[in-house]
Structure 1
Amino acid sequence: MSLGNKAEFINDRCYIFGSCSGLLLLYIGHFFIVNPLTKKFRIVDHSGSKLLPHIVGGVEKADPYDPDGPLVRTERAMCVGFVVDQCRITKIFKIVCILEMETKYRFEISDGDSWRLSKTTLTTSSKSGLKKRMRPVYVDGNLHWLRNDWSIIAFNPETEQARLIPCSFHPTPDTKVLFAANDETNLLTLISGTKKAISVYTLLGYHKWTLARQFKNVSMEESDLECWNVVAYDGKCLVVREKMIRSSDIELHVYDMEADSWGVFETAKCWSQDFYTFKPSFFSIEDDEQTKVLVPSDDQRLSYLTTIMEMIQPVKETHKDD
C-alpha cells in the first residue's frame, strides 16, 4: 500500500508511521489509530511524550514550511514503532519510540493513554545509526530496528527487554536493502539486492541468518536507468520500483515467490517514499472515556483522515480452479 498520487495534496501534512493487524498509525498533527475497513479511529494524545517532538518536529526558521502547521518530519520516522497484540482480550496496542545516543539506546512506550520512559537501556560496542526511513519490523512479540551496519536492535514492549542481533554479512555500496517480515513463516527477513540478483535472508533463532532464496533481478536497461530499489516483501511477493531517466513513469515490478516469475504490477507518476503491507481486519478501536481526546467536527485533520480511509479499499483474492 502506498498513498501515491491520490494523496499528493496531503503528504506534507500526513504520515503513516505504522501498519499492524489491519490498523494504521497516522500522524496529522495528532496521532490517529485508524481502521480503514470499519472507518473507525482513535486520537492518541502525544503531549506527554518526551521523544516525539524530536521525531515529528525540529522545524528550523529557514524551513520553507509554515512552522505553525501540523507538518511531519519523516527523516526520523523509523524511530516510531506500532504494535497490536491480537492475543489479548483487551485488544491492546502500543507505540514505542527509540532514542539513539551514540552507542546507547532508550525506549519510550505508550498504551494510548499515557507515555513513559522504559528503565531499559541497551549499550552496543560499536556506533552505528539507525537506517533512515527503514521502518521497524514487528515479529514474535519484538520490534526490530535495522542499523546502518545491518545489525538489529530488538525490543519487547511487554517484557521491556532489549538486545542486539549481530549481522554476519555486510552490504556493498551498490546494494539495495529492505527490512521486512515473512508473513508466511513469521520470520524476520533482510532483502539484499543488486542489479543482477536479489537475496532473501531469514533469521533463525536469535543470531543465525540463513539464505532462504536467491533469484535474478528484473531486467533493467542500465543506460537509461535513473534509480531503483526494493520497496515491499511479505513472503509471497517482492516488489521492485524503477525509474528511467527520460520518463516520468514509475514502474512497479512484482516477483511471485511461488511462481518464480516477474510481472508488472503498476505504472505510477508519483515517486512514493514509503510502501506498507496492509491486511484489512475488523479489529476494534475503543476509547477510554476518561482519556478520550476530542477535536471539532470541522477540523481539517479529520478531512485528511477521511480521504485516506476512502483510498484504502480491501482487495478480494481470486482463486483459479485447477
Structure 2
Amino acid sequence: MANNEKRSFDALREKISLLPLKVVVQSKLLSKDVRDMISHDAEFAQLLFNRHKDSSTQLIYTVYDGAVRKRFYKISLNPITQSESSLPDEIEILASCNGLIFIEFELVRCYCVFNPMTGEHQLVSYPDSSPNNIEDIGLAVEYPNADRYKLVTVYKLEENSNLFYKFRLLSSEQPAVWREIQVRTISFLSSLVCGPHVYWGDSLYWLRKDGSVLTFDTKREEATLIERPEFLDLDYGKIFTGQDIWLGIAQGLLTLVCIFRMRIVIATFDSANRRWKNSRTLDNFVLDLEGSFKGCPVWIDSKQVSFLVQNPQAWHYDLYEYDTNTNVYENVAVLPIISTHMYCFHPTLASVHSTPYNDATVDQQTHIAAHLNDINRFIIEGIPAVVVEEDEYEYEYEDEDEDEDEEAGGGADEEAGGEED
C-alpha cells in the first residue's frame, strides 16, 4: 500500500472508530478493505474496544419472582437509568465477557454464546456429564487481543478424589468438543462460592468459601490456588451472612472486597508476587441497624468498586460510587430492584464462530433465535420483549419417548428438567 493510500486508510479507520458500533457493523458493506479492517484488524479492534468500553457499559441481570417469566433488567451508566424487559424462566444468563453473553436454554438443553451487537450466536451442547454436577462455567473472551473465546467448566469434587478439581474446556475453534482436564490443587478444604467468576489476564478466577481463589490459566490450561489474604484474620468482626467476600475487577485490577462489622477492606491482587495487597480500608457505611449488609458490590471494569445498599425505609437500593475529588463514597442513584448476580456488559464486535448445530430441531432453533432477538433489541435498542404465550411441547426433543417416561415414573430428562443448578 502506497504512503498516500495508507494515510487515507488510516484516516478512514480513525473516522470509523468514532462511529456508534451499530454503524461500524453496517460499514462492512462499504468495501472489502473496510470489511477486512473491521473483522480482522487487531489494531482497529483494540482502538474500537478502548473508545467504546466506558461510554456504553451496562449492568444486566434477571430477577425471578415465581412467575412464568423472569424480569430482565439493564442499568445504563451514562446517565444512570434502569430499564425492564422479561425472559422466559427456561432462559438463564450465566456470564458476560468482552461483549459476549453466555446463556443456557434449559428446555432445549444447550448453551449459547451470543453477541447482542452483531446478532451472531453459537449453540453449544452440554458436556457429557450432567449439568447438575457443574459448580460453574467460566466464559473467557480474548477479544480484542484475539478473536476467540473459551468455556471452562469446574466440577464438584468427587468422593475419595478430594485432591483434584475436574475441568472441561471448549474452544470457539472446536465448538463441538469438550476436552477433560484434571489437575492437582494445593488445597481441597472448601468448595466454590456461588457467584460470578472473573476473567482477568488470560485466567479465570473463582472465589472459594475460605477466602482463597481457584485460578485456571486458559492458555497453559493449568489450575492453581491463590492463598487467602492475611487481613481476613484481623479482628474487624465478621458478619457471617455468607455474603461478606466478593471478587471482581475494578480499575482494571483483580479486586477483593471484604465486609466486616467495623470495616470494609478493598484489596488488589499483585500478580508478580501472587498475593493480595490491602489498597483501602474504610469505615463500614453499608450495614443496616441489625448489622447485616443487604446489597452487593458493583463491578465496572474501569471504575473503583461501587456498592448497592438497601434503604430500610424505602425498600429501594442506593448506589454509592467513589468520588475521587472528595475521597468518599457518594449516593449517586436510586434503583428499585437489584440482583446480587449482576453482569457488566459493554458491546463489542467480538466474533462468534457460528457452525452448524445438529442437536436441536428447526423449531427449537427458531425458538432460540426469537429470544436472542428479544435480548438484542432490549440490550442494544432498549426495546422490551413482547410477551407471547408459548407451548412448551414444541421445544422438546423429537426422539423423547413420553410413554416410556410415564411407565418408568418420569424419565431422567423430566427429572433433570425440574432441577436447578
* TM-score, structure 2 as length reference: 0.60
Structure 2 residue 318 is the aligned partner of structure 1 residue 251:
yes
**Residue type matched to 2:154 in 1?**
I
Residue of structure 2 in register with 1:122 after alignment: 184
Structure with higher helix content: 2
- Aligned-CA RMSD value: 3.2
Check the 8 A contact 2:286/2:293 in 1, yes or no: no
CA distance in 2, matches of 1:165, 1:220: 28
Larger radius of gyration: 2
Check the 8 A contact 1:181/1:233 in 2, yes or no: yes
1:233-259 Cα offsets, whole Å, 9 max, x none, are 535132222224454423332234566
- Partner SS state of residue 2, structure 1: strand
Out of 254-263 and 94-103, give the one that drifted further.
Answer: 254-263
Aligned positions of 1:1-322 closer than 5 A: 1-3=59-61, 6-7=71-72, 9-10=86-87, 12-29=89-106, 30-46=110-126, 48-55=127-134, 76=135, 79-86=136-143, 91-101=147-157, 102-112=162-172, 113-132=175-194, 134-169=195-230, 170=232, 173-174=238-239, 176-184=244-252, 187-194=253-260, 196-204=262-270, 205-218=272-285, 222=289, 227-245=294-312, 247-256=314-323, 260-289=327-356, 295-296=362-363, 299-313=366-380
Shift in CA distance, 226/94, structure 1 to aligned 2, threshold 3 Å: closer
- Partner SS state of residue 310, structure 1: helix
CA distance in 2, matches of 1:192, 1:295: 48
What are structure 1's unaligned runs of at least 5 residues? 56-75, 316-322
Shift in CA distance, 116/95, structure 1 to aligned 2, threshold 3 Å: same
- Partner SS state of residue 10, structure 1: strand
What are structure 2's unaligned runs of at least 5 residues? 1-58, 64-70, 73-84, 383-421
Amino-acid identity (%):
20
**Residue type matched to 1:128 in 2?**
S
Shift in CA distance, 287/293, structure 1 to aligned 2, threshold 3 Å: farther
Count of paired positions:
288
- Partner SS state of residue 305, structure 2: strand
CA distance in 1, matches of 2:163, 2:150: 25
**Residue type matched to 1:96 in 2?**
V
CA distance in 2, matches of 1:146, 1:110: 22
Shift in CA distance, 273/199, structure 1 to aligned 2, threshold 3 Å: closer
CA distance in 2, matches of 1:233, 1:293: 36
